[in-house]
Amino acid sequence: MKAHQRKLDIRNGCVDLSHGSGGRAMSQLISGLFHEAFGNEWLACGNDQSAFDVGAGRMVMTTDGYVVSPLFFPGGNIGSLAVHGTVNDIAMAGARPLYLSASFIIEEGFRFSDLKMIADSMGEAARAAGVYIITGDTKVVERGKADGLFISTAGIGVVPAGLDLSAGNARVGDRVLISGTLGDHGVAIMSKRQNLAFETEIVSDSASLHDFVASMLAAGGKGIRLMRDPTRGGLAATLNEIAQQSGLGFRLQEAAIPVKPGVAAACELLGLDPLYVANEGKLAAIVAPEVAAAVLAAMRVHPLGRDAAEIGEAVADDHHFVQMATSFGGARIVDWLSGEQLPRIC
């Protein structure tokens, strides 16, 4: 006789330790909530792993953890963020993302309704990006041992033949392009922090960038040296990393760097610099000077690059400084972030 099992009470129920114990409750959570949200042929097989065919060529793999607080923020939640963040790490190699894994560490007492909302937006973000979440894991920990929910992911993608975007590729004279306004994600998160809450219309820029990257590659080809998505540490950290890895410096024009007035105002209030604030749907590209105009034009016709701008160039510098001409008429360094500007931004 088949044992009767009560349906998951999504509206009022919450996760308890049995949902991580490997028993029937866990199986129900996985099939009733996650499979429903991610629905694809691989998950339907119900294996502990998923098999897929590998085409010829080079693959990329990445892994990422998400501990953002709060879990829900203007413009997204930890679920959509996990998909976008993983997809973007793959996309920065110029690769097409294919498959993701997702593992969930859930604190007991976490509401099913919140979990469903998060899983649904993960599924939606994956579908929109054309990737599949094909394997996963669920663990439940005691109350107080995790702050609601942590997600860790892995992602796999394929790189088009002949393409090699890498951090050491920048050359003196290359141009620095960014895809849009800086600091939106960080400010959206901060506006919802319990002890900081302020009103703003800024929403997170969280988005998958691989389609946008493909259109840039079509315009710039091998003239595109490398790309990075400036997440934690912001554009400042990204450019300092590239300066180190490519053995050169950068000179930026502050006046050319796009920042939304609401972001600038929030940063002013909190004593932050938008150059150090996290983004989740933006990229910085280092491109050869001869293709810069064409790539920028291609960026601007794409919805994710409407505010794209050329903001500076790579220069010879043994000290690997990122320097900036301030809009005020002076000069300064844009250094690495020191200390923690804001914990748990992604």
Partner 1 sequence: MKYADEFRDKEIALGLARAIRSEADPEKSYRFMEFCGGHTHAISRYGLEDMLPKNVRMIHGPGCPVCVLPAGRIDMAIRLAERPDVILCVYGDLMRVPGSQGASLLKAKARGADVRMVYSTIDAIRIAEEIPGRAVVFFAIGFETTTPPTAVMIRLAEKKQLKNFSVFCNHVLTPPAMQNILESPDIRNIGRVEIDGFVGPAHVSTIIGTEPYEFFAEEFGKPVVIAGFEPLDMMQAILMLVRQVNEHRHEVENQYSRAVTRDGNLRAKEEVSDIFELRDQFEWRGLGLVPYSGLKLKRAYAKYDAEVRFDMNELRVADNPACECGAILRGVKKPVDCKLFGTVCTPETPMGSCMVSSEGACAAHWTYGRFRDHQQRRAS
Q: How far is the CB of 318 from partner 1 (least distance, A)?
A: 8
Q: How far is the CB of 249 from partner 1 (least distance, A)?
A: 9
**What are the distances in angstroms from CA 123 to CA 81, 271, 300, 330?**
11, 37, 28, 48
φ/ψ of residue 156, rounded to 5: -130, 140
Q: Considering only CA atoms, which of 303, 307, 308 is closest in space to residue 177?
A: 308
CA distance 94 to 86: 13
Give Cβ neighbours of residue 29 (< 8 Å, ≥ 6 apart): 8, 15, 19, 138
Q: How far is the CB of 39 from partner 1 (least distance, A)?
A: 42
Token pair listed for 142: 């005691």
Closer by beta carbon to partner 1, 211 or else 307: 307
Q: How far is the CB of 307 from partner 1 (least distance, A)?
A: 17
Only segment of 21-29, 36-44, 60-68, 323-331 that touches partner 1 (CB under 8 A): 323-331
Determine if 338 is a binding residue for partner 1 (CB under 8 A): yes
- 221 torsion bin: left (phi>0), alpha (psi -120 to 50), beta (else): left
Give Cβ neighbours of residue 276 (< 8 Å, ≥ 6 apart): 233, 234, 235, 236, 237, 337, 341
Q: How far is the CB of 248 from partner 1 (least distance, A)?
A: 14
Only segment of 8-16, 26-34, 290-298, 327-335 that touches partner 1 (CB under 8 A): 327-335
Instruction: List the one residue from 97, 339, 344, 345 that touches partner 1 (CB under 8 A).
Output: 339
Determine if 328 is a binding residue for partner 1 (CB under 8 A): yes
Closer by beta carbon to partner 1, 45 or else 331: 331
- x-or-dash string of contact with partner 1, 171-210, rule CB under 8 A: ------------------------xx--------------
Token pair listed for 62: 């990445």
CA angle, residues 105, 110, 113, in degrees to nearest 5: 115
Determine if 321 is a binding residue for partner 1 (CB under 8 A): yes
Only segment of 179-187, 212-220, 302-310, 331-339 that touches partner 1 (CB under 8 A): 331-339
Q: Write out the binding residues for partner 1, residues 204-243 only, by CB under 8 A.
A: none
CA distance 110 to 104: 12
Q: Write out the binding residues for partner 1, residues 263-292 only, by CB under 8 A.
A: 264-265, 268
Give Cβ neighbours of residue 41 (< 8 Å, ≥ 6 apart): none
- Contact positions vs partner 1 (CB under 8 A): 195-196, 261, 264-265, 268, 319, 321, 323, 325-333, 335, 338-339
